[in-house]
Amino acid sequence: MTTLPPTRIPDPYDAPAIRWGVLAPGGIARAWATALHATTRSRVVAVGSRSAERAEAFLAELGAERAHGSYEALVDDPDVDAVYVASPHSQHHDHALLALGAGKPVLVEKAFTRNATEAAAVIDAARARGLLVVEAMWARFLPHVDVVRRCLEDGLLGEVVTVSADHGQRLYPDGPQRLADPALAGGALLDLGVYPVSLAHLVLGGFTDVRATGTLAATGVDASETIAVTGPGGGFGTLSSTMLAKTPCTASVSGTRLRLEVDGVFYQPNVVRLLDPDDHELDRYEPPSREHGLAYEAAEFARLLVAGRTESDLLPLDETLAIMRVLDDVRRQLGVGFPGEG
């Protein structure tokens, strides 16, 4: 019987313990720090915010040791081994460079920056200083995505013909204000669409062609998009994202022999099913847990840092940059720009 390969992703608790500083204590930072403390041996020891009150509230909630009323004070904290940048997309470039300038390795929330020019600047700065930097595209570090990766490496599916993925959440017009604001690099693409784009980039090994269509919000940011991509091997992808409606958020990869389907939300810890052409289930992968998936990226970062590495094989910096170029191309086709991009 044809079976799925096992995941190679270790238990997050087995990763070395490092001391984190959180830059910008918003909602994603809270979820990330909660997962970190629940399932790893690393700890948040400091938090930095432009608001001392917000920093103190985060400190009290998570039990961190020190709250800083500025980002500069956070990155200069000698007890911080690495900085997690959780500010809006529009500020990732500046905040990552701030941390790198202080000699701190950085985990930068997705999307990595507003555009490829900014991404290249961060990557060049990290390489010049020999510092670790990783994009916090958390799905890339999850066990079930490694099962997909191994299927591709082993040729289990045959030649990949198509990949499909969608990500839609009802976040506009009544959701977070930043998503409607061009000055904060809002829109569906950088917040939601980056997930299916990143998955398809992994599956197809990059893109040779990208075609996009979509709709804009009244503020000029993208509200929805459908993206057709072609890989260098001839496989193609159909990807979609929207902040106007909740969608199934599923993904599938179809090859000439077999097909993979990720049940439920594809970018969270989930089941992967292996199907034959008659839709018979041949095997399935069950995740060890469906909770605290954000811990896996933090655990990978800790392993890399202690090993003296400067980037992750699971999401190399050149691939982060290539994906940013794809997002730039999609925005260009949709007619979406951000203030100050040049």
Beta-carbon-side half-sphere exposure of residue 317 (alpha carbons within 13 Å): 20
Q: Which of 75, 80, 123, 124 is nearest to 101 (CA)?
A: 75
- Catalytic residue among 110, 114, 149, 259, which? 110
Q: Find out whether 282 and 156 touch, Cβ atoms under 8 Å.
A: no
Query: What is the rounded CA–CA span in Å between residue 164 and residue 180?
Result: 26
DSSP 3-state assignment of 130?
A: coil
Q: Which residue has the tokens 């057709």?
A: 228
d(CA 297, CA 12): 9
DSSP secondary structure letter of residue 41? S
For residues 285 and 280, give the distance between their C-alpha atoms in angstroms, rounded to a whole number: 15
> What interhelical angle do 27-39 and 52-62 show, nearest 10?
30
What are 309-317's contacts with CB under 8 Å, separation 24+? Answer: 309/132, 310/126, 310/127, 310/130, 310/131, 310/132, 310/133, 311/132, 311/133, 311/134, 312/134, 312/141, 314/140, 314/141, 314/146, 315/134, 315/135, 315/137, 315/140, 315/141, 317/123, 317/126, 317/127, 317/133
Active site residue 110: yes
The DSSP secondary structure of 223-244, one letter per residue, reads: EEEEEEEE-TTS-EEEEEEESS
Phi and psi (nearest 5°) for 164? -135, 140
Which residues are annotated as catalytic? 110
